[in-house]
Structure 1
Amino acid sequence: MVGMREVDYDVIIAGGGLAGLLAAREAASKGLSVAIIEEDFEIGVPDKCDGLVSIKALMCLGVIPTSRAVQNTVGRVLLYPPSGKPIEVETSKLLKIVVLDRGIFDKGLARAASSKGADIFLGERVGKAVEEEGFVRVEANRILKSKIYIEARGTSALPADRQRSLLPAARYDVEAKWIQEDTVEVYVDSTKYPGFFLWVIPKGKDSAKVGVAGRSINCFATLDEFLKQKGGGQVIKKVSAPIYVGGPIDNFVKRRMMIVGDSAGQTKPSTGGGIYSCGLAGVLAGQAAAKYLLDGDPDALQKYSRSWLHLFKEDFKTSLQARRIYEKMDNRSIEKVFDLIREKDLLNELLQEDGFDEHSKWIRRILSMEDLVKIFSIVAADEIRSLIKQIGEFLMHRR
């Protein structure tokens, strides 16, 4: 492209979100020349993530958030079935679940990467990255060449066959008297929020992030209706962005190119969250780039892929299986499962030290085979009833 200057970097990262910034920090800290190309004009804006995470997970990422970045600490969770009778559980004091201001938090990560020597280009969009002989050619507002390329642009970079696992989602930042300062609320209803749920995450006194996701729903209209039922509230911000719940893509590495974060499908299939799983992918990818280039380890990039899968493959597999069951449930099935949860006091295990960040550990530890059979039989029975109803309706139309 005429008029565009050419710059060489050891590593170019497309996307200045959590995974990309952590990859940059790791690679630059080893002395590599690193460039981050972010299409938005400000790091952390728009703020698409609700920022609910455990301090333990952040420590695993090598991050200690500043007091300005922590909006609140969560003390309990209320989980509402369709009937409205909630299950209440207190969070573990050892776990310490916090709510982050992702705008402030991400800017802190950007400063950390920059302090190690990474260059950050804002308002530039990567159009194409193509591997050529010995380097990757990256086309943005300029032509750049790098030895390693890391794709971290988010769900927009997911393969076409994975787009169907995106759910429409939206969030309001709300000020209202009904908000409980230390309490996360989750509302489950297969009719109102098919395939997902609605959530309230408190930012502090009388302030919360109220969000919803679900298949084929109008998210803003759904949130408006919820606020009306709760008695209103002042909406001070609206954000809309899809969430991905389809599990990891098939390959994270292709020769000199690595894929991390939302782009790699590394968000939890259960909740769509990914601060821990996506962030750790960025850390591992940045370290892999350094080992590949500085130590001459030809297998280093593939080791990133294997390391991430070793940590998360089983957790994501179990979560995907649980999601497939959940998506088949009607409200009657959900109520029966809630009864089982109450009977076995299952949620207390989820909010202990490792259950919050790694859901499969919680599922495998607390569900005996008898309980699993109960849950599967509930779903199976409803599927059979639904099938009989469909057959009956078909026969009626043929008369």
Structure 2
Amino acid sequence: MKLETIETDVLVIGAGPAGSNAAKHAAMGGAEVLLVDKKSEIGTPKRCAEGVSKNGLEKLGIKPSHRWIAAEMDRVRLVSPSGIDVWLNQENVHLPETGYNLERKVFDKHMAMDAARAGSQIMVKTLAKELTLKDDYVLVKAESMGNHVEIKSKIVIGADGPESRVGRWAGLKSTSKPKNMESGVQFEMVGVELEDTRAVEFYFGSVAPGGYAWIFPKGDDIANVGLGVINSMTSKNAYHHLLDFVRECKATQKAVSVEFNVGGIPVGGPLNEFVTDNVMLVGDAAGQVNPLTGGGIISGMQAGLIAGEVAANAINEGNCSLENLKEYETRWVEENSLSFQKYLKAKEYLLSLSNEELDSIARAFQGSDFERIGPMELLGKLVKVSPKAMVKLGKILAL
């Protein structure tokens, strides 16, 4: 196979939303950028997550397009183990990962096209196989379209997903503990009998040990139906949990699967460090995923925006050291650490509850007007419903 050498300012490995946004903003800042992806077609196969908030897209400056929006969502239905449901409205409660359900394949490709329009070059079917840190650049060996390629870059941005190989090659601790990695599985189904086609549904309890099951509407009778589990908390694999859920859930009993997706979901919060000399990690590679919901599109794209800006500035200044790139990590942590800590606490609390406690809490809040319930009333309901659950919450909040 022929050996080719390519030189660039910034190499982005992985053309998901986080990587494409990093490439876009680095190019907008004047850097020479190359975005590579191991797949022949960007966006395929799709990952499980397809929900994003309207507010999140607005903050990123991305205008919604009918090309990649499958459905709008403004309500949430929370379902307890025995089927007791609680309804929330977007107007009354901030609901992460609700607003739009995406056509993820189209969305990812659209984001890569935006990077190209900003000036980034793109190479598909290009697999990074080795990374070596040199004195003032990074050498990446890859295989592209059947050819061996060497890429010399002043900065590498790793957007290569959970358990990032870019991170490991660069000496960053990018491996998640088993308890912090959910196995996600999902069907896209037709014939789903939804109670409300503008509501995303979440199912809690033993239906998905360590996580939850979801139904995301995509218009008409089509929906994404999936779940995430922590493998150490169950003797069954995620796929068999999903089969059980589809059989038992009233909405999916007559539905037919037309697509199957799998993927790891890092839910332990961001890595302690995701920057080193000449290298930055973004998105799932950096653990920038909501620990409670498992959603990471917006937070990853936000990271990509910051990393791209910092990379371009570093290139312009001629300083790609950790000291200069650390600004990216600092900015992202400042904007997200507080909310991520809250999501981690909430997840820990939910995992501590038994099926019976989840049912009791759902029963207490069923039909409640959340716009009129204050914090003290919420706590009062918890105490009345389940003193044990309240004690668990107190212990977690005191950590």
Which TM-score bucket, shorter chain as reference? 0.7 to 0.9
Contact 2:12 2:36 in 1 (8 A): yes
Tell me the CA shift for residue 170 of structure 1. Answer: 0.5
Tell me the CA shift for residue 92 of structure 1. Answer: 2.3
Contact 2:176 2:266 in 1 (8 A): no
Cα 1:227–1:329, aligned 2, differ >3 Å: closer, same or farther? same
Secondary structure class of the residue paired with 2:3? coil
Partner of 2:38: 39
Tell me the CA shift for residue 325 of structure 1. Answer: 2.1
Amino acid at match of 2:247: K
Partner of 2:297: 275
Aligned residue among 225, 239, 251 for 2:244: 225
Aligned residue among 262, 266, 285 for 1:244: 266
Give the Cα separation in 1 of the matches to 2:73 and 2:176.
37
Tell me the CA shift for residue 228 of structure 1. Answer: 2.4
Give matches, 1:236-315, under 5 Å: 236-296=258-318, 299-315=323-339
Give the Cα separation in 2 of the matches to 1:201 and 1:215.
21
Give the Cα separation in 1 of the matches to 2:116 and 2:177.
33
Aligned residue among 204, 227, 245 for 1:188: 204
Contact 1:333 1:382 in 2 (8 A): no
Contact 2:160 2:285 in 1 (8 A): yes
Secondary structure class of the residue paired with 1:236? strand
Aligned residue among 187, 209, 227 for 1:212: 227
Partner of 1:8: 7
Cα 1:160–1:53, aligned 2, differ >3 Å: closer, same or farther? closer
Give the Cα separation in 2 of the matches to 1:86 and 1:369.
17
Partner of 2:193: 178
Partner of 1:396: none
Cα 1:260–1:89, aligned 2, differ >3 Å: closer, same or farther? same
> What do the CA deviations read for 1:114-143 (whole angstroms, capped 9, x no partner)?
112211111111122221011111111211
Give the Cα separation in 2 of the matches to 1:220 and 1:121.
33
Give the Cα separation in 2 of the matches to 1:72 and 1:370.
35
Give the Cα separation in 1 of the matches to 2:298 and 2:176.
25
Amino acid at match of 2:153: S
Confirm or deny that 1:135 pairs with 2:137: yes
Tell me the CA shift for residue 164 of structure 1. Answer: 4.0
Tell me the CA shift for residue 227 of structure 1. Answer: 2.5
Moved more, 21-30 or 291-300: 291-300
Moved more, 89-98 or 366-375: 366-375
TM-score, scaled to structure 2: 0.84
> What do the CA deviations read for 1:74-128 (whole angstroms, capped 9, x no partner)?
1322111112121122322998811111111111111111112211111111122
Cα 1:39–1:193, aligned 2, differ >3 Å: closer, same or farther? same
Aligned residue among 154, 162, 184 for 1:155: 162
Amino acid at match of 1:223: L
Contact 1:50 1:209 in 2 (8 A): no
Cα 1:377–1:135, aligned 2, differ >3 Å: closer, same or farther? farther
- Identity rate, percent: 28
Give the Cα separation in 1 of the matches to 2:356 and 2:229.
18
Higher relative contact order (CA 8 A, sep 6+): 2
Amino acid at match of 1:40: K
Give the Cα separation in 2 of the matches to 1:175 and 1:105.
21
> What do the CA deviations read for 1:254-292 (whole angstroms, capped 9, x no partner)?
011111100000000001101111110000000000111
Cα 1:71–1:161, aligned 2, differ >3 Å: closer, same or farther? closer
Cα 1:104–1:367, aligned 2, differ >3 Å: closer, same or farther? farther
Confirm or deny that 1:201 pairs with 2:216: yes
Contact 2:283 2:300 in 1 (8 A): yes
Contact 2:163 2:176 in 1 (8 A): no
Where in structure 1 do 4 or more consecutive aligned residues deviate above 3 Å?
A: 93-96, 161-164, 295-300, 339-346, 365-377, 379-383
Confirm or deny that 1:117 pairs with 2:116: no
Secondary structure class of the residue paired with 1:225? helix
Amino acid at match of 1:206: D
Moved more, 13-22 or 74-83: 74-83
- Give the gaps of 5 or more residues in structure 1: 351-364, 384-399
Amino acid at match of 2:226: G
TM-score, scaled to structure 1: 0.84
Give the Cα separation in 1 of the matches to 2:47 and 2:327.
30
Tell me the CA shift for residue 177 of structure 1. Answer: 4.8
Give the Cα separation in 2 of the matches to 1:207 and 1:8.
45
Cα 1:236–1:373, aligned 2, differ >3 Å: closer, same or farther? closer
Contact 2:201 2:214 in 1 (8 A): yes
Give the Cα separation in 2 of the matches to 1:194 and 1:349.
32
> What do the CA deviations read for 1:43-97 (whole angstroms, capped 9, x no partner)?
1111114321122101212211321111111132211111212112232299881
Tell me the CA shift for residue 237 of structure 1. Answer: 0.5
Give the Cα separation in 2 of the matches to 1:87 and 1:93.
13
What root-mean-square deviation, in Å, do the aligned CA atoms of Structure 1 and Structure 2 show?
2.7
Amino acid at match of 2:272: D
Contact 2:48 2:184 in 1 (8 A): no
Give the Cα separation in 2 of the matches to 1:277 and 1:235.
30
